[in-house]
A and B are shown apart, each in its own frame.
Chain A
Amino acid sequence: GQSLEQPSEVTAVEGAIVQINCTYQTSGFYGLSWYQQHDGGAPTFLSYNALDGLEETGRFSSFLSRSDSYGYLLLQELQMKDSASYFCAGDKAAGNKLTFGGGTRVLVKP
């Protein structure tokens, strides 16, 4: 089964900020990645945190705290096109295979 836990669904309005949390077992992962997947589409890479702290890429930021086995993806200035599923994924070592969480479906309303 999945060893990364995420909320199943989040709803927000355009322009709002959404934080998607990802917690994982303490036996744990080296780094944390985030992928976006629109309905019927392929997952696409958003960010990767190898070190603790915040990584910012435009409207999206990702945070990792390995001591807390916790990370999050922050979506700012939400747009309708951000409606999608978002997956956190951990790797056991740098460059190792990814294990994905169950995904969080984000619904952006006007």
Chain B
Amino acid sequence: DTGVSQDPRHKITKRGQNVTFRCDPISEHNRLYWYRQTLGQGPEFLTYFQNEAQLEKSRLLSDRFSAERPKGSFSTLEIQRTEQGDSAMYLCASSLRTSGSEKLFFGSGTQLSVL
């Protein structure tokens, strides 16, 4: 299967701990996005990359969040000093940047629970 994969599927951590999530996009896709979704809400944009360059980061994102895409392939999202409010589903999506519309392919997400 060549879809977007995310690891782990679930993560339970204690408040104050650091966590890191991984996303492997569809191989030929040059854009990679991170979104966060809480129950009953739509996905909320966090950041995105075109190849290895991080082009935009949400103003809502605190300094505790950092994302990388070192070789323009997989990406990691790290949350430092987790807080209970960080509990959410973290979704990764990839797309092939063209001159037209953007169709995002989402992974199944990482469900984070901060105790």
Q: List the interface of chain A (C-beta within 8 A of B).
A: 2, 4, 31, 33, 35, 41-45, 48, 50, 87, 89, 91, 94-103
Residues of A within 8 A of B108 (CB): 41-42
When chains A and B are docked, how far (Å) is the Cα of A10 from the Cα of B33? 29
When chains A and B are docked, how far (Å) is the Cα of A96 from the Cα of B40? 24
Q: Check A103/B42 contact, CB under 8 A, given A31-B101, A95-B100.
A: yes
Total contacts A-B at CB 8 Å:
63
B2 interfacial contact with A, CB 8 Å: no
When chains A and B are docked, how far (Å) is the Cα of A96 from the Cα of B102? 7
- A95 pairs with B97, CB closer than 8 A: yes
- B45 pairs with A98, CB closer than 8 A: yes
Q: Check A100/B101 contact, CB under 8 A, given A42-B108, A42-B109, A44-B106.
A: no
- B91 pairs with A95, CB closer than 8 A: no
**Nearest chain B residue, comparing its CB with the CB of A42:** B106
- A95 pairs with B43, CB closer than 8 A: no
When chains A and B are docked, how far (Å) is the Cα of A33 from the Cα of B105? 13
Residues of A within 8 A of B99 (CB): 94-95
When chains A and B are docked, how far (Å) is the Cα of A100 from the Cα of B4? 20
When chains A and B are docked, how far (Å) is the Cα of A33 from the Cα of B109? 20
When chains A and B are docked, how far (Å) is the Cα of A4 from the Cα of B109? 23
**Nearest chain A residue, comparing its CB with the CB of B33:** A97
When chains A and B are docked, how far (Å) is the Cα of A41 from the Cα of B3? 13
When chains A and B are docked, how far (Å) is the Cα of A68 from the Cα of B93? 30
- A45 pairs with B103, CB closer than 8 A: yes
- A102 pairs with B33, CB closer than 8 A: no
- A48 pairs with B103, CB closer than 8 A: yes
